[in-house]
């Protein structure tokens, strides 16, 4: 059973009680991420997330780590372009301890200079690690081509220079400015009693008494002309990412968007995987994905391939995209794509963390609970004609934005083919 309570200061608490479960998954979600930054504080949201675990007025970093270990289950945190989340899955009896721990991290973190210096080195190593992983790094190289100087075009981790200059004052100011009551959602799924859960948090989070300032509202990015760029690097493989603008999280056609992605390159039976990997053996890794934000999105295709096969692979990708605009998908292909998405949804309902994430994101983006039956019904109603129309709208016979990373210098590679 789903329930929602809004505290007097605006913090929203949502729960889905599943009494058959032995555990509870809890997430404290803050509607702030790397897009809520500018050129001089890039990486702040991610740095703040790290520092929340590095000491409070009553707990050292080691105390915090030890308490999470003793609680058992799992605990972690992450930062995306639009959200920051602290989450843990614990036995139901440990909920009071977890609530006390999370509230301590969010209201009494010290941001001590010595801890900042240590964590700075960790984050710089994280940045270097991503740069050494070309199949990850290509996504960061692609973003500025698509979004330009908008914050969505910057990396979540931030630049070396900005991270190196970060200090306690800047991080505290960022948190005070953005971590406001109207941006916080506390979500729980599993063996939880809603009213008892609300009582655990109400007093602890009274500190968050202000709402965000009007000038902090997000600016929607503008769509740029398509472009391409090669980043030459002596690698064994060429890594290519190509894509176009897509739909937002809340777009009415979002389920059509999901199905289009599945048909194109979202699983092993997709057109791209079958044509480029299975039939021709040109690439070990090829897939598509749909990324969506509160006001925009993009649809992208990743390809890891030998340099000599880049042009052939890109020609085949263009052919598959054109075919999606020329004729409706078959009824069998559509049914398989629907079954793939629905199976994933049903299987996720066996996982408390997945349920917690779902109700938190629904509250964050839609301001309400969306029953699973409603999602399934919306997917079932989609026709092959719907996918054809959306394909024409998104791709529109226009060139895609493309980034290439690897041994591509002076190779005659045509990234605009």
Choosing from 16, 37, 49, 119, the catalytic residue is: 49
Q: Quick check: helix, strand or coil at residue 212?
A: coil
Per the annotation, the verdict on 49 as an active-site residue is: yes
Q: Name the nearest CA neighbour of 296 among 221, 379, 385, 408.
A: 221
Please list, in sequence order, all residues whose beta carbon lies within 8 angstroms of the beta carbon of residue 68, skipping any fewer than 6 positions away. 75, 88, 101
Give yes or no for a contact between 30 and 361, defined as CB atoms under 8 angstroms apart: no
Cα→Cα distances 388→245, 306, 329, 330, Å: 16, 32, 8, 11
Determine whether 399 is exposed, middle or buried from the number of CB atoms within 10 Å of its CB (0-12, 13-18, 19+): middle
Token pair listed for 261: 């992605």
User: Distance between CA 53 and CA 110 in Å, rounded?
Assistant: 10
Give the H or E element holding residue 297.
strand 297-305
Token pair listed for 366: 């839609």
Point out the residues that are catalytic. Answer: 49
């Amino acid at each position: 059973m789903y329930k929602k309570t809004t505290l007097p200061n605006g913090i929203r608490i949502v729960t889905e009680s599943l009494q058959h479960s032995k555990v509870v998954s809890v997430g404290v979600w803050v509607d702030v991420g790397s897009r809520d930054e500018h050129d001089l504080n890039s990486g702040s949201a991610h740095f703040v997330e790290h520092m929340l675990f590095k000491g409070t007025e009553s707990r050292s970093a080691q105390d915090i780590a030890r308490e999470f270990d003793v609680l058992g289950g799992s605990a972690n945190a992450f930062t995306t372009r639009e959200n920051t989340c602290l989450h843990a899955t614990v036995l139901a009896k440990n909920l009071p301890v977890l609530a006390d721990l999370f509230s301590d991290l969010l209201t009494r973190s010290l941001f001590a200079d010595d801890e900042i210096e240590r964590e700075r080195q960790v984050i710089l190593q994280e940045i270097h690690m991503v740069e050494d992983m070309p199949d990850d790094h290509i996504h960061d190289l692609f973003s500025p081509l698509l979004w330009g100087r908008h914050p969505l075009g910057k990396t979540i981790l931030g630049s070396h220079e900005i991270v190196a200059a970060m200090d306690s004052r800047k991080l505290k100011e960022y948190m005070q400015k953005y971590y406001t009551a109207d941006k916080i959602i506390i979500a729980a799924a599993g063996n939880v009693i809603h009213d008892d859960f609300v009582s655990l948090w109400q007093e602890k989070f009274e500190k968050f008494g202000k709402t965000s300032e009007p000038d902090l509202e997000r600016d929607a990015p503008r769509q740029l002309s398509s472009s391409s760029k090669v980043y030459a690097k002596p690698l064994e493989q060429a890594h290519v990412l190509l894509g176009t603008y897509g739909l937002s999280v809340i777009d009415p056609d979002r389920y059509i968007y999901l199905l289009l992605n599945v048909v194109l390159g979202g699983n092993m039976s997709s057109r791209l995987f079958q044509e480029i990997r299975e039939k021709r053996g040109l690439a070990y890794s090829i897939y598509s994905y749909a990324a969506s934000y509160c006001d925009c999105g993009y649809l992208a295709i990743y390809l890891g391939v030998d340099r000599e096969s880049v042009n052939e692979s890109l020609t085949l990708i263009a052919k598959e995209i054109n075919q999606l605009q020329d004729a409706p998908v078959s009824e069998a292909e559509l049914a398989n794509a629907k079954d793939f998405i629905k199976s994933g949804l049903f299987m996720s309902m066996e996982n408390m963390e997945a349920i917690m994430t779902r109700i938190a994101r629904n509250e964050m983006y839609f301001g309400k609970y969306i029953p699973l039956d409603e999602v399934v019904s919306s997917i079932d109603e989609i026709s092959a004609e719907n996918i054809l129309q959306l394909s024409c709208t998104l791709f529109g016979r226009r060139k895609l934005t493309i980034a290439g990373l690897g041994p591509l210098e002076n190779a005659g590679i045509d990234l605009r083919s």
